[in-house]
Structure 1
Amino acid sequence: MEINGLPAHVLIVHAAVVFLPLATVIAVVYAWVPRWRWATRWPAVGFTTVALGAVMAAYFSGRSFLDSQPALKQSSAVTLHRERASVLFWVTIVFALLVFLAAWGLGGPSGLASGRFGRARHAPVVEWSLMAMVTILAVASLAMVIGTGDAGARAVWSGFTAPSSQ
C-alpha cells in the first residue's frame, strides 16, 4: 500500500502518534472531572474512535509493508517495533472499549443552566472502577505509543549519520 509513492505506514503512523495521546488526555479529564463530563463526553468518544482507527490502520499497513519487504524481518529493531505494535494494538482496543463504557456509565451534572446533558450518577464502586480502569489503560496506551514509536524510529534511523555542517 502506497500513498504518493511512499509506504502508507510511514504516513498513517503519524495519525496514531497524534490522536492516541490526545484521546488519553481527554479520557482522563472526562473520567476524573465530573463537572466537565457533559462537555468532554463526546470529545472523549470522538478522539478515542479516531485514535483507534489510526492505530488499527498503522498496525495493518505496517504488517502489509513488512510482508512486502521480507529482508526487514531479519532486523531485530524491526522485530521489536513489530512486537510493541502488537501490544499497542490490543491495549488500544481495550482502552477504547473502556472509554466507550465510561461514556455510557459515568454520570455528572451539566454545566448548562437548563441542566441539559447532565447524567445520573451510578454506584460509587462502578464510577471509581471505571475511572481507575480508564486511567490505567490511558497510561498504558500512552506508554505503548511512545515505546512503539521509539522502536520504529530506531529501526529506521539507527546507523544514520547526519552530514557535518562544515
Structure 2
Amino acid sequence: MSTFNGLPAHVLLVHVIVVLVPLTAALLILCALWPAARGRLIWPVVGLAVLVTALTPVTVEAGEWFQRQLGMPPVVDEHARLGHQMLYFVPPLLISAVVLAFAHLRQERGKAVGRAAVAVIALLAIATGAAAVWQTYRVGDSGAHAVWNGVLNH
C-alpha cells in the first residue's frame, strides 16, 4: 500500500500505531495488575494486540515506500531504522496478552494459577508494555523531527 486518497499510507497508518500501541500496553498492564479489569478487558486487549501486531509490518512497509519517494536524508534513515525495530517490540505485547488470557481462562475454570506465575505474567506485561510504548515514542519523535525540521516538506 503506497497511498490512500492521495496521502502516503504511512502517514495515516502511523497514527493508528501511535494510538493503539500505548492503549494496548496500558490496558494489558491494567489487566495484569487488576483482576476485575482482566475479567472485563482481557479479550479486547488480545484483539488490540492482534490488530497492532498485524498493522505494524504494514506500517513499516508503507514507510519504506515513502522513504524511497523522499530519498535518503539521514534523519529519515534514523526514523526508518527505529521503525523497523517496532517489529521486535509489538509481538511481545501479543505474547503477553495471550499468556495473560490463558491464565485468566485457567482461573475461570477453577484451576489454580500460582502467585509466582501471576507475578511473572504481570512483570512480563509491564516490561513488554513499557518497552513497546518507549519504542513507539522513539519512532514517533524521530519522525516528528524529520517533519518539523523541514526535511519532509515536499
**Where does the alignment leave 5 or more consecutive residues of structure 2 unmatched?**
none
- Distance in structure 1 (CA, Å) of the matches to 2:27 and 2:119: 17
- Tell me the equivalent position of 1:56: 57
The verdict on how the C-alpha distance between 1:107 and 1:123 changes in structure 2, with shifts beyond 3 A counting, is farther
- Tell me the equivalent position of 1:148: 139
CA deviation string 1:47-98 (max 9, x = no partner): 222222232221121122223x2x532x121111111112222111122112
* Structure 2 length-normalised TM: 0.87
- Tell me the equivalent position of 2:113: 122
* Structure 1 length-normalised TM: 0.81
Greater relative contact order (Cα < 8 A, sep 6+):
2
Cα deviation for residue 119 of structure 1 reads 5.7
CA contact (8 A) 1:106 1:121 kept: no
- Tell me the equivalent position of 1:158: 149
Larger Rg: 1
**Where does the alignment leave 5 or more consecutive residues of structure 1 unmatched?**
110-116, 161-166
Q: Which has the higher helix share?
A: 2
CA contact (8 A) 1:20 1:52 kept: no
Identity rate, percent: 24
- Tell me the equivalent position of 1:112: none
- Tell me the equivalent position of 1:113: none
- Tell me the equivalent position of 1:96: 94
Cα deviation for residue 147 of structure 1 reads 1.0
State the secondary structure of the residue aligned to 1:150: helix
Segment of structure 1 superposing worse, 139-148 or 81-90 = 81-90
Segment of structure 1 superposing worse, 27-36 or 56-65 = 56-65
